[in-house]
Amino acid sequence: MKPEKQLEIFRRGAVEVIPEEELLAKIENARRKKRGLRIKFGADPSAPDIHLGHTVCLHKLKELQDLKHEIIFVIGDFTATIGDPSGQTKTRKPLSREEIMKNAETYQNQAFKILSPSQTKVVYNSQWCDRLALAEVCELASKYTVARMIERNDFQKRYQSGQEIGIHEFLYPLIQAYDSIALKSDVEVGGTDQKFNFLVARELQHRYGQEPQVVLTLPILPGTDGVRKMSKSMGNYIGITEPPQEIFGKIMSISDELMFTYYELLTSISSAGLKRMRKGSSHPRDLKKSLAKEIVALYYGNKLSLRAEEEFENVFKKGRAPEEIPSLMLSKSELKDGKMELVKILLLSSMAKSKSEAKRLIQAGAVKINNEKCSNSEIEIRKGMVIRTGKRKFAVIDISD
């Protein structure tokens, strides 16, 4: 394919290509040398799921992969120990290496739901970052100034409002930039929130005697709250390995306006098609259902997509329990006089992540037992009783000796 045509594909759906003329030159040079460009994409495993926000970039990477370029998927197991400060109003809580590696276990398989395994190189940035000596870190830090770092919008806001900024947070964009140096990346792809980090990489590559990478930024997918970007740490995300029914239900819960943004960023609909949809007479609920079916089908196939739709109709419109309810096995030794604290049941069934969340659910009247609201601190346990929180989470009690 001619370089100019390739450039059009690179630009399609992008917010910025920085700088465009360098990208065209890189494409032409790679074509002469009969090789693909080294295109970098990174994700920190701060939670076990790759979410729909990541897939905006992954689908773009698949387009570039189809042009025979090499995709390098960087799993940021080292950078995750620092925590990306992008868009943060306070210092992130650091994760342990054990937590990070547990989260990273399935990242590769999740990415391969979209990318071709044979054309994707998966690397962990601890491979080179763990080997950096203190003198090398100091050398890296010497190539960028505090003044330039504080120009960053989120750092500037925190500094002006008196919010603490850890020195280690200044290291994050430098270490991410070092990934580009270690990989000699030609292009880096990511969301618009990563622009500062990507530009730092361009400058440091130049200072290390490399040809700077081109920056390609893509739109940020809003989370299910419709306000903040989709983020694992903010809990407003839809993981691509979540059960089909959960994905379907979460999409059905988003606002009508957000639905159109999801159509634009997560499907292949054209601008003209989206405009017709906005002006059409179809009910938003029907459009949302079509969106949910399309996204579930993308990751689970048409059969499970249709089953997710059917279950949604049963649970939400007809008030029935889903066909397959997760079982919560309790042993008699765990019970006290045949009873158990309701908070403990919500934790054991993963319906609540913490005691405080469990108590909030109970106080809000969001917990039902056999379809009756329950606010008791303890409940008498019987085999086959169904616990439910909200509209989508169920568990059926089983008892072992």
pLDDT at 320 over 60: no
Can you list the positions of beta strands (E) in 102-220?
120-124, 187-191, 214-218
Cα–Cα distance, 161 to 155 (Å, whole number):
10
Q: What is the pLDDT of residue 396?
A: 81
Entry pTM: 0.72
What stretch(es) of the chain map to CATH 3.40.50.620?
A: 3-218
Q: What is the pLDDT of residue 395?
A: 82
Give the residue, 104 or 239, on which the prediction is more confident.
239
Mark the binding-site residues, compressed into ranges: 232
pLDDT at 235 over 80: no
pLDDT at 250 over 60: yes
Tens-place pLDDT, residues 182-233? 999 999 999 999 999 999 999 999 999 999 999 999 999 999 999 888 987 7
Give the residue, 280 or 390, on which the prediction is more confident.
280
Q: What mean pLDDT comes out for the span 276-302?
A: 92
The one-letter amino acid code at 306 reads: L
H/E stretch holding 23 reads: helix 20-32
Q: What is the pLDDT of residue 143?
A: 92
Highest mean pLDDT of the ranges 168-182, 308-322, 337-351, 386-400 = 168-182
| DSSP codes joined into one string, 220-267 | PPB-TTSSSBP-TTTT---BTTS-HHHHHHHHHTS-HHHHHHHHHHHS
Q: What dotted CATH number matches 3-218?
A: 3.40.50.620
pLDDT at 318 over 70: no
Q: What is the pLDDT of residue 355?
A: 86
pLDDT at 316 over 70: no
Q: What mean pLDDT comes out for the span 4-13?
A: 93
Indicate the CATH number of 327-400 among 3.20.20.70, 3.10.290.10, 3.30.1330.10, 3.30.465.10: 3.10.290.10
Residue 229 contacts residue 87 (beta carbons within 8 Å): yes
| Mean pLDDT computed over every residue of the chain | 88
Q: What is the pLDDT of residue 324?
A: 62
Mark the binding-site residues for ATP, compressed into ranges: 232
Q: What is the pLDDT of residue 270?
A: 85
Residue 327 contacts residue 395 (beta carbons within 8 Å): yes
What stretch(es) of the chain map to CATH 3.10.290.10?
A: 327-400
Two tokens, residue 378: 């303890």
pLDDT at 344 over 70: yes
pLDDT at 136 over 90: yes
Tens-place pLDDT, residues 113-132? 899 998 999 999 999 999 99
Cα–Cα distance, 374 to 393 (Å, whole number):
15
Torsions phi, psi for 215 (to 5 deg): -100, 125
Q: What is the pLDDT of residue 90?
A: 60
